[in-house]
Amino acid sequence: MSDETATAMYRTRTDALTTDVGEGRPVVFAHGTLMDRTMFEPQLEALKDEYRAVAYDLRARTDRYAPEYDLWDLADDCAALLDGIGEDNAVIAGMSMGGFMGLRFALEYPERVDGLVLIDSMATPHPEEERAEYEALVEPYEDVLDPLPREIAAGSTGELFGQTTHEENPELVEAWVDRWATYPGRAVHHELNSWLGREDVTDRLSEIDVPVLIVHGEEDPSIAPEQAEPMVEELPDAEMALIPEAGHTSNLEGPEAANDAIRTFLDERF
């Protein structure tokens, strides 16, 4: 299981792991697989005039990527991060893997959650067939410290970006491929395996009694909007906003629509 020093890192090295802007109610952003905290630059810019907006790198993007860990460990990291920035509680906004973590953070630390923003995420596990495909993809890199081969990095773009982005904003896609091709193979192996075997938390969503906004790209190739929609019914207080012409990184591909949805949610509910 995880190295406790990884969690402690979020408490003691917070300034090195976060982008922290603005003042007010804290909103903490947790990224998805292969991404990093810079994916939330549009949201931090949009919120910093009225909120304390904080985006942080999960451990796969840090020097603590090597030990095995799971989503509950990442929830502990998030709690330590709140300690590090001096906040008792916050709105937790997570994209994909960050959303998987956010749901578990809300279950494990209910007193520290004001609300949730779930971006291109879901409560159910990935189907078995998809899990097997992901496992086969990253298994060869379990002990590889060299950077991820570029062809593997480039092959991931079909999962992360929607068709419109591929056609109209290929520069964004290529910029992320350049970044992914610098990651140690082992970091990506552990990152995917932190969530591949996750349990279904649908039957526990009724425990999360805080306002929740579900933001989802209409063109998400990894998690279809229909896979997120059941959370609207199962969560006590949830609403959903679809982002047109956006894929799995909908907040980055359709920043204006995503910012409007997130800002409206925060302004109206908090």
Average pLDDT score over residue span 158-169? 98
pLDDT band, residue 4 (cuts 50/70/90): confident
Is the pLDDT reported for residue 112 higher than 60? Answer: yes
- Rounded Cα distance between 218 and 243, Å, is 6
- Rounded Cα distance between 92 and 114, Å, is 8
Question: Within its chain, how far is the Cα of 232 from the centroid?
Answer: 19
Its pTM surpasses 0.95: yes
Find, among 251, 257, 269, 27, the residue nearest to 120 by Cα: 251
Average pLDDT score over residue span 232-244? 98
In-domain check, residue 260: yes
In-domain check, residue 147: no
pLDDT band, residue 21 (cuts 50/70/90): very high
What is the spatial order of strands in the sheet that 113-119 belongs to? Answer: 18-21, 52-56, 26-30, 90-95, 113-119, 212-217, 238-243
> What string of DSSP letters covers 165-193?
HHHH-HHHHHHHHHHHTTSBHHHHHHHHH
In-domain check, residue 148: no
pLDDT (tens digit per residue) in 132-151: 998 998 899 999 999 999 99
Taking the alpha carbons of 186, 191, 194, 195 in that order, is the dihedral positive or negative? Answer: negative
- Residue 2's pLDDT is what? 58
- Rounded Cα distance between 22 and 89, Å, is 16
- Rounded Cα distance between 259 and 268, Å, is 14
- Residue 1's pLDDT is what? 47
- How are beta strands 26-30 and 18-21 bridged, if at all? unpaired
In-domain check, residue 44: yes
CB 250 within 8 A of CB 120: yes
In-domain check, residue 161: no
Number of domains in the chain: 1
Quote the mean pLDDT of the chain. 96
> Which three-class secondary structure state does DSSP give residue 86?
coil
In-domain check, residue 134: no
In-domain check, residue 155: no
- Residue 48: give its domain's CATH number: 3.40.50.1820
> What string of DSSP letters covers 67-83?
S---HHHHHHHHHHHHH
In-domain check, residue 108: yes
Structural domain boundaries enclosing 84: 6-124+199-269
Which stretches of the chain are DSSP H helices? 4-12, 14-17, 41-47, 71-85, 97-108, 128-138, 150-155, 157-160, 163-168, 170-180, 185-196, 225-228, 230-234, 250-253, 255-269
Q: What share of the chain has pLDDT > 90, as a percent?
A: 95
pLDDT (tens digit per residue) in 198-221: 999 999 999 999 999 999 999 999
